[in-house]
Structure 1
Amino acid sequence: MKKLLNICLLVVLIFMSTSCSQKEKSSERELNIPVLADAAWLKADGAFYNGVQLAVEEANTEYSGKGFKIITSVIDDKDLYETGVEMATKAAEDETVTAVFNLQNFDVSKTTADILAGNGKLVLFPYGAYDSLFTKDNPYVLNGIPAFSDLGKAMAEYAVKKGYKRIAIYHNGNQSQEELVTAFELDLLNTGTKVVDYVPSIASKNEFDNIYSRWQALNVDCVVISQYGLDRAFEVLKMLRSRDAKIAVIGEPIFDSANALAENKAIAEGMAVPSTLVIEDSQKLKEFKERYRKKYGKEADIWAVQGYDMLRLVVDTAVKLDTNDPAKIAAALHNQKGYQGIGRNIAFTKGGAMITDVKKLPILICRDGRFQ
């Protein structure tokens, strides 16, 4: 009888051990990738998060047989600094989180990047962040778009190509605007094009009238607008167009907003902006657009592609490595060959900046309310 009890006890212990092992294995196979952002802003357009959700759905179908479960959610920071730091801290301390898509205000993400990465979370910035974040060789931070310095270079090369000679720059905002315009001017060295005036602020329309008179005296033939904040960017453009409807304008990508363009269609006509993504046509991209259209009833824009590619970038790499360990995934994502997404090859420098061929970065022109 005693022998039988010992055997039963042994069987129970083995069962419990196996059960615990299976639970641990199941936990290890979960890939929790939340989006940290202002929920109202994120869902107003919806394209990026739609792309993320479609990727989650398809990846779960594809990889469930391998024991992986992919989940995502929106962590709402309400576009507030204190809330953003609080939410990032909670995500950093959550052992189930593998990676975070950080779409916060740049001044917030500058702080929260260290909080998340310091706790071993993989942090991707699908809409970008300050260039300086990617100069510290931190293996956990990855930029999802070209650096602002790359955008500035692309804008400068476009200006030279178009034959503009005397450029005025209006820039007002934060560090990213400084990074962009500095790269812009440096790239003009040893060309026939030069910056003849810098304007850091415009307090009123009367002040702008004086600025515009100065630009006329300087024979300015192109104006670059680098402004943090979408509403203010269009206000500056409106002031310029009220005085000159034909002068060439090159703006930063913030102008490429469908809702704002619908309201400012006339004044945006003909202006140029650099694309934040180099999307290449492929059969995979065509098929994705068809699936997206079928699911959401509308066309996929570049941000839908970005959401899909960013999610699959993490998940496909994790499955290939058979892990949800952020450190192992981060190391693999620094592979020089990069990751082939549906829209392009995605590769990163040692510091996490996106490797970009500036000459391939498209310059988009606004035609009838759309940049194309």
Structure 2
Amino acid sequence: MNKNNKMPCTTRFSFTAGALALALGASLATAVQAAEPLKIGLLLPYTGTFAALGEATTNGLKLAIEQHDNSLGGRPVEYVVVDSEANPAKAVPNMQKLIAGANVDVVVGPVHSGVGMGAVKVARETGVPLIIPNAGFNAATGALCAPNIFRTSFTSWQTAYPMGQVAADKGYKNIVTLAWRYGFGTESVEGFKEGFEKAGGKVSKEIYVPFPDVEFQSQLTEIAALKPDAVFVFFAGGGAAKFVQDYAAAGLQGKIPLLGSGFLTEGTLAAQGQAATGLLTTLHYADFLGTPENLRFREDYRQKFGKEADVYAVQGYDTGLLLAQSLKTVAGNTRDRAAWIAAMAQARIPSPRGEWTFSKAHNPVQNIYLREVRDGVNVVVSTAATALADPAPGCKMQ
């Protein structure tokens, strides 16, 4: 009887001791990780055509993290920086350098959609979280979506589709499109065309220019002969600056209204001058949004970096907010990757662009603003689409 009486006691003790040991081990592991820096891999362009975009994204990210005492989930932050050079051919080895070489916890990047294709490939293979702060190619949150891939920026569809309804509301029936023939250009045209035709309009002709050509004379002559109700275009950077100037010089400004994805006038207004007056564009941000978050962000950015913030800085800032919020939820535990990914998916970002959340495909559900160029600035006219979610065709997470 005595032996029988002792057995349950011994068993209870062994289970209790085992549970205690497991708890102590888990606590020790958590404590050890808390002392380790959280490594953020930056795969952004710091040289070449897109260097300014990489700098602004990085500035915004670091500003958000500094505002959280340079600590994420109780862990100090370490940056591992790789210049993407906006070179798609180097995307896979650069991702491997960050993930296998530096053992980063998360990769932030890229800017260029061509680099994005390679980055997504490696992220899908390794399971390491990838947060895309700019590259807008649809596939990242469409056919190539994955639980560990998030976008804090936009898709090419999102920034162009709402302009279709805007054009229809203005009574335009017949529109010609013009864009660079590469991924983002063709996707932007497709997005606009979808929105415009859904609203009852017709795209009578699609004209393309090889990327990155900036000679537009023959295309402008053709547009003048076609006499459409309006023209929708996708150009950015130096190409956008020259196109808008050439459009005015061809005598089309004020005669045939010019519409575009918001990148037509982002960072290009100074070069475009009076030629940009009256341009209508759609984008998920505008410098002069009057929200308290935007006013505070722009002042903080100006104080820190001595320059004005732009949409790229906002996207970097929001990436920092996403990291801060999600890592607080999991107390800095990046080893439980599933829990961390779930925390990111549930995040609500109090952004300078307006609060946004993630769709099931991990693309921002966000407002798209209609802006008009007045006195050299993009003025918000209205909200072209409220809480717009990309339909993410082909995404199997939905």
- TM-score grouping bracket, smaller chain normalisation: 0.7 to 0.9
Report the Cα offset of residue 285 of structure 1.
Answer: 4.0
Report the Cα offset of residue 137 of structure 1.
Answer: 4.0
Report the Cα offset of residue 311 of structure 1.
Answer: 0.9
RCO comparison, higher one (Cα < 8 Å, 6+): 1
Q: Could you list the per-position Cα deviations for residues 205-247 of structure 1 after superposition, in whole angstroms to 9, with x for gaps in the alignment?
A: 563354134313xxx12111124x5333344333332221212
Q: Could you list the per-position Cα deviations for residues 52-75 of structure 1 after superposition, in whole angstroms to 9, with x for gaps in the alignment?
A: 1222222235x48x7411223431
CA contact (8 A) 2:42 2:109 kept: yes
Which one of 260, 264, 275 corresponds to residue 267 of structure 1? Answer: 275
Report the Cα offset of residue 80 of structure 1.
Answer: 2.3
Amino acid in the other structure paired with 1:333: M
Amino acid in the other structure paired with 2:162: A
Residue 230, structure 1, aligned to residue 237, structure 2: yes
Residue 180 of structure 1 is matched in structure 2 by 188
Residue 355 of structure 1 is matched in structure 2 by 365
Residue 346, structure 1, aligned to residue 356, structure 2: yes
Pair 177,123 (structure 1): closer, same or farther in 2 beyond 3 Å: same
2: CA distance, partners of 1:309 / 1:59: 13
Pair 24,282 (structure 1): closer, same or farther in 2 beyond 3 Å: same
Task: Compute the TM-score of the two structures, normalised by the length of structure 2.
Answer: 0.76
Pair 186,210 (structure 1): closer, same or farther in 2 beyond 3 Å: same
Which one of 325, 333, 349 corresponds to residue 344 of structure 2? Answer: 333
CA contact (8 A) 2:43 2:82 kept: yes
2: CA distance, partners of 1:169 / 1:215: 12
Residue 200, structure 1, aligned to residue 211, structure 2: no
Residue 134 of structure 1 is matched in structure 2 by 141
CA contact (8 A) 2:111 2:135 kept: no
Residue 127 of structure 2 is matched in structure 1 by 120
2: CA distance, partners of 1:96 / 1:27: 16
Amino acid in the other structure paired with 1:304: A
Residue 265 of structure 2 is matched in structure 1 by 256
Question: Secondary structure, in 3 states, of the residue corresponding to 1:164?
Answer: coil
Report the Cα offset of residue 278 of structure 1.
Answer: 7.7
Q: Could you list the per-position Cα deviations for residues 16-37 of structure 1 after superposition, in whole angstroms to 9, with x for gaps in the alignment?
A: x99xx57971467532223211
Count of paired positions: 344
2: CA distance, partners of 1:111 / 1:181: 24
User: Unmatched 5+ residue regions in structure 1?
Assistant: 1-16
CA contact (8 A) 1:225 1:250 kept: yes
User: Unmatched 5+ residue regions in structure 2?
Assistant: 1-23, 380-398
After the TM superposition, which of the residue ranges 83-92 and 278-287 deviates more from structure 2?
278-287
Q: What does 1:90-101 align with in structure 2 at a 5 Å threshold? A: 90-94=97-101, 96-101=103-108
Amino acid in the other structure paired with 1:122: P
Q: Could you list the per-position Cα deviations for residues 318-339 of structure 1 after superposition, in whole angstroms to 9, with x for gaps in the alignment?
A: 122111244432222222x634
Report the Cα offset of residue 170 of structure 1.
Answer: 0.8
Task: Compute the TM-score of the two structures, normalised by the length of structure 1.
Answer: 0.80
2: CA distance, partners of 1:94 / 1:256: 39
Question: Secondary structure, in 3 states, of the residue corresponding to 1:196?
Answer: strand
CA contact (8 A) 1:261 1:370 kept: yes
Pair 263,108 (structure 1): closer, same or farther in 2 beyond 3 Å: same
Hey, which of these two has a bigger chunk of strand by percent? 2
Q: What does 1:144-163 align with in structure 2 at a 5 Å threshold? A: 144-163=152-171
2: CA distance, partners of 1:32 / 1:22: 17
CA contact (8 A) 1:145 1:277 kept: no
Residue 214 of structure 1 is matched in structure 2 by 225
Pair 186,67 (structure 1): closer, same or farther in 2 beyond 3 Å: closer
Report the Cα offset of residue 96 of structure 1.
Answer: 3.7
Between the two proteins, what is the percent identity of the paired residues?
Answer: 20
Residue 245 of structure 1 is matched in structure 2 by 253
Report the Cα offset of residue 92 of structure 1.
Answer: 2.3
**Alignment RMSD, CA only?**
3.1
Residue 31 of structure 1 is matched in structure 2 by 38
